[in-house]
Structure 1
Amino acid sequence: MHQVIASPQGDKFVIARPGERKGMQIPHAMYRELSSAVDYGQPIPGWLADAARQAWAIELAGQPAADNLLVRPLTPLNYSRATWEVNKGCNFNCEHCYLAERRFEGLPREEKSQLLLMLRDAGVLWLQLTGGEPTIDRDFEHSYQLAYELGMLIEILTNGSRLHRPEVIDLISSMPPHKVKVSLYGASAGSFDSLTRKPGSYKLLMKGLRAAKEAGVSLELVLIITKHNEHEVDAMRKIAQTYATASTEFTNISPTYDGSPEPLAAQAPGFLDKSTVFQGCPAGHTFFHVDPHGFATMCKIGRENPINLMVEGLDGLLRLPAIADAQMLRSGGCSGCALSATCRVCRPLAKAYQEAKAPLSTYCQHGNGGDAP
């Protein structure tokens, strides 16, 4: 199994190691040298052995390149990241979920493998596995292992309910992901289970956190602050300090991606955050989203004009930049807004808020003391 990955990334070339944050950029000539070393049975070049020793404290000097190095192929496409909604099904029923439906369905295993090969050939190095809950998919272990073998740096977004299972913890211990992000919905069973609407969900989460810590698996906790847990934010932070290497706090609940308002009822108004000014997004140009059926869109929210990758193949992605650009235009309730230059919300998300008839104060400067156009 490879210890190091060399991959094209647009007009650059990078060296990365699974499970590690540190990496490096190299010129095209060094990328070609690594490719030749693998193809012709040569040892790891000395410069890479030195760099790996310094960055990751591993010893590759004199080792066969083919046994330790995965060189990903050049691709005419410029995508480096993708999110894959493996399955919309979930073992929780969270009040704040942005998914319009949570049906347990998706591609059969053979087509999941075909999709992952396409993502590799599109240039995707960073792959986020999400859902629903990705770890409950019947093919999760197979999909994860194949993505890893194809040289992708994997991020798992999970509710943590399956982390305690041996097949899951053994998998991510032996094939380290780039990140595991676990959602934390409270610091007690009362607050946690009231949001997930699943009795026993807090107990499952804590069981998973303890299993990951015991196995030495690094976690990031995402503290989802809602009306159910706003009184125990400090306790949630203490859980993060105990079980995670990093944490973030998420306060702004969004409507479902098709504009239904139900998730907004979970918001804690006193914690709503006015985010930074939106300065553009490369969605559809350097990254994209794939749903459980293999349909590609610009992102998780902007799902207009989906491209069926299982029918069109990679050629379909050639249409995605134009589709994304059309969705980023300020239209509808945002057309002609005098504050658009300092807006904090991207157009697809603003559209979802507008279709949900959300209060302006939850997403728009007009609801925060701004002047209407």
Structure 2
Amino acid sequence: MFDLIASPFLDDHLVTRPGSEKGLKIPFHLYEELREAGREPVPQWLTEAAWKRWGLALPSRPTEEAVMVREPSDYDYCRASYELNLGCNYDCEHCYLGLKKFSGLKWEKRKQLLKSMQRAGVLWLQLTGGEPLIDRQFKETYAYAYRLGMMLSISTNGSRLHDPRIMALLTEKPPYRLTISVYGASAKRYDALTKRRGAFKLFEKGLTAAQNAGLPISLNLIVTDTNADEVEEMKAFAIGRDLPHHVFSNMAPTIYGGVESVLTQSEEHLRTRKPFTGCHAGHTFFHVDPHGLVSICKVGRDHQFSLVKEGTAGLRKLGGIADSLQLRTGGCSGCMFGQNGTCGTCRPLAKLYQESQAPLNSYCRHGGF
């Protein structure tokens, strides 16, 4: 099993270590040296750099065994997210997925999909859902993506992290980030929001297992009208566990344009978004749903196409799709906030809000921000 990954990254070249967010930027000639080293010993410069950056003492073995060297790609993609399955063991009131159906690709198609991502240059891959850890092929999918030399992150509710088989996998092949959603500081609020009795106990059990294993954890504190009275307690919980945390309180419509998730919003905690100045969705990043359909991101799902059927070459049209979806048309035409660069909502997200007939103040400055 390799210790490090050397990979092109847009116009640069990086050396990364699974399980760590730290990396090394290296010049092209050193990347080429690693690419051509084969059975030669690990170069001295990398041995020294690995110890300085990660405290990693590289064993005396051939470079090709210690370092996974990713081949250059003809594409400009470096990041992607993959919904393994929309199914979930919770029924959270705020969920943007709407109907959480258990369906997706069979194993051979998944392997084909992941290989296409690798050929596209994807180095950073987020595995999400639904709840990815309950997917029947999670362990195989995770291990295969890891072997392909991808730096993996997982977004989860944490309810299955206590499973020794999952913990063994993540300990042997660590993600660079494990993001766990938190739905309350007490069993009463947590179980009410997830609509699952005993969910809070499973969350605590899973979080403890992940912390004991030394995995790189961050917490997303989800705030809705149901648990809004526990915001400070949720923050204290994260601080007490000595874990980084982010408060997520602005609810979005479902991917089908449903308003039900928006209606769970705690008005008190509705935040003014920062001005939207553009993003790399569709250009250096893309999203894949459980059936292998590609979109520019999790929100902008119009004009999807099958990465399994079209292969990596299909991604060449994604940039044009992204540019077309970001045009401020329809319900936002003539808006002065969009013209002067102070609007806080990207066009694909605004379109979902408009289709769902969500309250204007949930996404638009005309609504009172």
1:34 aligns with 2:24: no
Q: Does 1:190 align with 2:188?
A: yes
> What is the DSSP-based 3-state SS (H/G/I as helix, E as strand, rest coil) of the residue aligned with 2:253?
coil
Please state how far the C-alpha of 1:232 moved relative to its aligned partner. 1.2
Counterpart contact for 2:21–2:177, Cα < 8 Å: no
What does 1:290-301 align with in structure 2 at a 5 Å threshold?
290-301=288-299
Q: Equivalent residue for 2:6?
A: 6
Aligned to 1:159: 157
CA deviation after TM superposition for structure 1 residue 245, in Å:
2.7
Structure 1 position 166, deviation (Å): 0.5
Worse overlay, 80-89 or 210-219: 210-219
> Counterparts of 1:13 and 1:140 in 2: how far apart (Å)?
29
Please say if residues 184 and 224 of structure 1, whose CA atoms lie closer than 8 Å, have aligned partners that are also in contact: yes
Q: Give deviations 1:300-354, integer Å, cap 9, x for gaps.
A: 0100111111111111111111111111000111012111021101110011111
Aligned residues: 367
2:173 maps to 1:175:
yes
Q: Report SS of the residue matched to 1:154.
A: strand
Select which of 128, 133, 136 maps to 1:135: 133
Report how far residue 258 of structure 1 moved: 2.3
Shift of 1:214: 2.2
Partner deviation per Cα, 1:128-186 (whole Å, 9 max, x = no partner): 00000000011000000111111111110001110110011111111110100000000
Cα separation, partners in 2 of 1:103 and 1:347, compared to 1, 3 Å? same
- 2:30 aligned counterpart, secondary structure: helix
Q: Which residue of 2 aligns with 1:102?
A: 100
1:205 is matched with which residue: 203, 206, 215? 203
Quick one: distance in 1 between partners of 2:290 and 2:156?
16
TM-superposed deviation, 1:218: 2.7
Counterpart for residue 269 of structure 1 = 267
Counterpart Cα distance in 1 of 2:150 and 2:63: 18
How many Å apart are 1:238 and its aligned residue? 2.2
CA distance in 2, matches of 1:60, 1:149: 19
Q: CA deviation at 1:62?
A: 4.5
- More deviation, 52-61/128-137: 52-61
Aligned to 1:43: 41
* Cα distance per residue 1:168-219 (max 9 Å; x no partner): 1111111110100000000111111111111211111111112112222231
Report what 1:356 is aligned to: 356
What is the distance in 1 between the residues matched to 2:363 and 2:103?
32
The TM-score normalised by the length of structure 2 is 0.97
> What amino acid sits opposite 2:58 in the alignment?
L
Deviation at 1:25, TM superposition (A): 1.1
> Hey, what does 2:86 align to over in structure 1?
88
Rounded Cα–Cα distance in structure 2 between residues aligned with 1:300 and 1:34: 35
The alignment partner of 2:311 has SS state of: helix
The residue aligned with 1:145 is: 143
Distance, in Å, in 1 between the alignment partners of 2:23 and 2:10 is 16
Alpha-carbon shift at residue 61 of structure 1 (Å):
6.8
Cα root mean square deviation, aligned: 1.1
CA separation of 1:129 and 1:235: change in aligned 2, threshold 3 A: same
8 Å contact 1:191–1:228 — kept in the other structure?
Answer: yes
- After superposition, residues 308-319 of structure 1 pair within 5 angstroms as 308-319=306-317
Q: Quote the residue 2:302 is aligned against.
A: 304
**Which secondary structure does the structure 1 equivalent of 2:221 belong to?**
strand
Where 1:190 maps in the other structure, the secondary structure is helix
Match of residue 281 from structure 2: 283
CA contact (8 A) 2:82 2:288 kept: yes
Secondary structure at the aligned position of 1:135 is classed as helix
Letter in 2 for 1:136: I
Compute the displacement of 1:63 (Å): 3.3
- Classify 1:342/1:256 alpha carbon distance in 2 versus 1 (closer, same or farther; 3 Å): same
Q: Deviations over 1:3-60 (max 9, x none)?
A: 111001122111100011111111111111000112xx11111111111110011122
Q: Which residue of 51, 54, 63 maps to 2:61? A: 63
**Are the structure 2 counterparts of residues 337 and 120 from structure 1 closer, same or farther at C-alpha, using a change threshold of 3 Å?**
same
Amino acid at match of 1:354: Q
What secondary structure, in the 3-state scheme, does the structure 2 residue paired with 1:66 have?
A: helix
SS in 2 for 1:339: helix
SS in 2 for 1:156: strand
- 5 Å-filtered alignment, 1:244-255, equals 245-255=243-253
Matched-pair contact (CA < 8 Å) for 1:46–1:61: no
1:240 maps onto 2:206 in alignment: no
Runs of 4+ in 1 over 4 A off after TM superposition: none
| Secondary structure at the counterpart of residue 336 of structure 1 | coil
Amino acid paired to 1:48? L
SS for the counterpart of 1:233 is helix
5+ residue gaps, structure 1: none
